[in-house]
Amino acid sequence: MARCSESHSEIARKILRKLEKAAIQAHIHNEAATGSIYIRFEDARIGSVRISDHEGIERYKYKWNVRTDKKFRINKQLHGWQRDGETFRFYCTPANLNRIVEEIIDRASQVKTSEWKKEYPPKIGMQSNYETEMSRRISELRAKVRKNT
């Protein structure tokens, strides 16, 4: 599989430096034999980052994903927020590290406040689907409140 010019450890160090500037504590948790690198945050509610050049194992689903393989870089439809069942996951290439860091910073600020939710609502990408889903949920909640009063 073709890879980008930067190594996964270089990409991880870039992400960690950017997060450190934003006062978000993270560390490299694992460097797998496959070449994938995993970053964990001090606050587990933020999620974790996977940097790889291949698809991951189905049962391990990381919130933040940096893909370096050529197949992924060419297919722009895979970039940004992707819905995986009830959960949203973020995918980008090394060229978009600023965007993933911005999204992680946003997530970290939500975690620190009462705005934190189990599912992270994306602000970019699947916005129209997200707004439709939120409108549906709000309608359901209003119906429950009316029913209980």
What string of DSSP letters covers 34-46? TS-EEEEESSGGG
| d(C-alpha 79, C-alpha 136), whole Å | 26
| d(C-alpha 53, C-alpha 4), whole Å | 9
Contact 92, 122 (CB under 8 A): no
Least confident of 27-31, 95-99, 122-126: 122-126
Query: How far is the first Cα of the chain from the last one, in angstroms, to the nearest whole number?
Result: 60
- Taking residues 6-16, what's their average pLDDT? 90
Does 18 have pLDDT greater than 90?
yes
Contact 61, 97 (CB under 8 A): no
Share above pLDDT 90 across residues of the chain, in percent, rounded to a whole number: 14
pLDDT of residue 115: 59
- Taking residues 73-89, what's their average pLDDT? 72
More confident call, 124 vs 31? 31
Tally Cβ neighbours within 10 Å of residue 78.
15
Q: Using pLDDT thresholds of 50, 70 and 90, give the confidence band for residue 13.
A: very high
CA separation, residue 144 to residues 29, 79, 132 (Å): 43, 37, 19
